[in-house]
Amino acid sequence: MARLERDESAAGAEFSQATAPRRKTMPAWRKVLYGLLCGAVTVGLLAWSLRDLSLPALGEVLSRANYGWLVVALGAYIAMFALRAWRWGLLLAAQCGPGRWRDRFNAFFVGYATNSVLPASAGEVVRAVLLNRWAKVPLEPALGSVLGEKLMDVLVVFVILLALLSQQPQLSANLPLGLLGAVIGMSCALFWLLARYPRTITSFVGKAMQKVGLGRWRNPVEHRLVGLLSGLSIFRQPGQFLIALGVTFLSWAVNGITYWAVLLALGITAPGWIGSLITQSLAAFAIALPSSPGFVGPFEAAVRFGLNLYQVAGAEAIAAALLLRLVMYVLAPLLGLLLALHLGLSRSDLKGLAPQANPDLPSAGGATG
């Protein structure tokens, strides 16, 4: 707590003014509707994943697991965070000082852990706020860079998926690649426009607010929007963008080791390296769906669907999903929460840093699939 109090004092009045508007409480009806939607997605996909679960068979598969491979899986997962912290610095450097790699890694890891205990991807806001406090990185560009990260992740995951399926075309008929391509294409076009014409778009939004009777909020909204869009500056710098894109590919390759190591722990060899990466890509898309903290339901469904493509079904597929969840959504967040305690942060501190359950925040899926 002493560390937290020192950081709060150092952040100053400017930080307080910048973050105050983000602490609005979501209307009760919106919370209820969003909660019902998350609950329906979680229950529906979890029921599909566990539809033919045999507990004795599941216990038998888990009993023969080589848990030494889980250490490899966890190490690869933490290495992925180190690469993501490097990439975050590249995105921020296009607009402002990115701070130290250590501060970015700590903020990223603590923010990820926050997603396991708070809803609505609140950890994305937490990590931006923490980086503001520890490294004095402006809040709006930090939040804008989160949006840039998500676009890069979506692009890279889709490219990986297409490249791998080109080697195994018999699997592509089972996946809605056309729909995914259309959605990603529209997203890329939107982000390119936001990055290329931030002032024009900001002015358009301000004029629209004026016309619909919201002129009193025009100036603060324009100020915030300019700051957020500045986090996309790297998309106007081809050299830096290509470097960040390369780091993104590397991070997903390292993250794929986590999936592969878990499959090897269970003696599942049929999917191989390619199958592990395909399953990872499907999980990355699935956890973008609204669900409970930890992506319960979408994650299990994606892992089972991906492994089913390789005739890995039933107890083995469910066991793989459970061990992946253990590594990615239990052990890794636990280490992140321990890091938060070491840095002087408590659960109430983290909750206070995040807005009240805001579903408009970008999902963490791209970073953690």
Q: How many residues does the chain have?
A: 369
Dist. CA 69–CA 66, nearest whole Å: 6
Share of the chain above pLDDT 90, in %: 36
Helices (H), 20-67: 28-49, 55-63
294: Cβ–Cβ under 8 A, 6 or more apart, which residues? 115, 116, 325, 329
Q: With 70 as the cut, is the pLDDT of residue 25 above it?
A: no
**Residue matched to tokens 């979506």:** 154
pLDDT single digits (tens) 188-230: 788 778 888 888 888 888 888 888 888 888 888 887 787 778 7
Q: What is the reported pLDDT for 7?
A: 46
Cβ count near 73 (within 10 Å): 25
Between 79-83, 98-102, 297-301, 344-348, the lowest mean confidence (pLDDT) is in 344-348
Dist. CA 134–CA 96, nearest whole Å: 15
Burial (Cβ within 10 Å: 0-12, 13-18, ≥19) of residue 37? middle
Q: Nearest to residue 359, comparing CAs of 81, 99, 35?
A: 35
Dist. CA 40–CA 42, nearest whole Å: 5
129 and 23 in contact (C-beta within 8 Å)? Answer: no
HSE at residue 365, side-chain half, CA atoms within 13 A, is 25
274 and 168 in contact (C-beta within 8 Å)? Answer: yes
pLDDT single digits (tens) 101-156: 999 999 999 999 887 777 657 788 889 999 999 999 988 888 888 888 888 898 89
Q: What is the reported pLDDT for 13?
A: 39
Q: Nearest to residue 109, comparing CAs of 340, 346, 313, 369?
A: 340
Angle at 134 between CA 128 and CA 135, to 5 degrees: 85
* pLDDT bucket at 254, cuts 50 / 70 / 90: very high
More confident residue, 56 or 287: 56
In the chain the first and final C-alpha atoms are separated, in Å, by 32
Amino acid at 183: V
Burial (Cβ within 10 Å: 0-12, 13-18, ≥19) of residue 22? middle
Q: What is the mean pLDDT of residues 304-309?
A: 91
Q: What is the mean pLDDT of residues 308-320?
A: 91
Between 71-85, 192-206, 258-272, the lowest mean confidence (pLDDT) is in 192-206
Dist. CA 130–CA 8, nearest whole Å: 10
Helices (H), 213-313: 218-230, 238-265, 272-286, 298-308
pLDDT single digits (tens) 148-184: 888 889 889 888 888 887 777 666 666 677 777 787 7
Model pTM?
Answer: 0.81
